[in-house]
Structures are given as structure tokens and as C-alpha cells.
Amino acid sequence: MKFKCVAAILFLSPCLGIVPAAADQVCNVPLTDWQPRQVLQKKLETEGWTVLSIRSDDGCYKVKATKAGGDHLKAKYDPASLERIQPMSQEEDDDRHH
């Protein structure tokens, strides 16, 4: 009986709008519309960032960078418009505070 209940829930969940958290993507841009990573890197460098990495993450560009003074920054960008879609987070280096 438990199997039938679980099967019914799994079958009906897409119909009811229940979607697993892993399917919750921030960006939904076709790969053919993505701009090259080098374009985003150049944009960020003109804004004073030193780019450490640019990776694909949930359909977005995920950037890790630093600015003068050693602050570590993270942000997600729309790969087509290269607009920041997630508020920038600033991570402070633990070594500077000990």
C-alpha cells in the first residue's frame, strides 16, 4: 500500500506544481545565447575585480573574485545579459581577523 501512495505522489507532483529543489534554476538561458566567459571577465576587470574563477552553476555564471584590500566576492550572473542576478556576497578572510 505504501508503494502505491508514493507512486501516486510522484506521478501527481508535477501536475500539482511540486518540483524538487534541484530543479529550481536561477537562470534559464539557452546555451546558444550565452556570452563567452572572457566577455564577463573583461567586464568585471573594468569594474575593479580580479577574477579568480568563472564557472557554470545552475545555468548561470558563478564568479569568485577579489578586490583591492583582499576582500573576497561571489556573485551569479545571467549568461546572456551578464547582469548580476544574485546579490553580491562578501566573505572576509578569517586570517585577517585573528
DSSP of 40-60 = HHHHHHHTT-EEEEEEEETTE
Q: Which residues are registered as beta bridge partners of 89?
A: 74
| Domains located in the chain, CATH noted | 25-97 (3.10.450)
- Please check the confidence at residue 8 and state whether its pLDDT lies above 90: no
Q: Encode pLDDT of 24-62 as tens digits.
A: 457 899 999 999 999 999 999 999 999 999 999 999 999
| Mode of pairing for the β-strands spanning 50-57 and 72-77 | unpaired
Provide the H-helix boundaries in 1-98. 2-12, 37-46
- Please check the confidence at residue 65 and state whether its pLDDT lies above 90: yes
Give the length of the chain. 98
Whether the Cβ atoms of residue 56 and residue 62 lie closer than 8 Å to each other: yes
pLDDT of res. 51: 96
DSSP 78: -
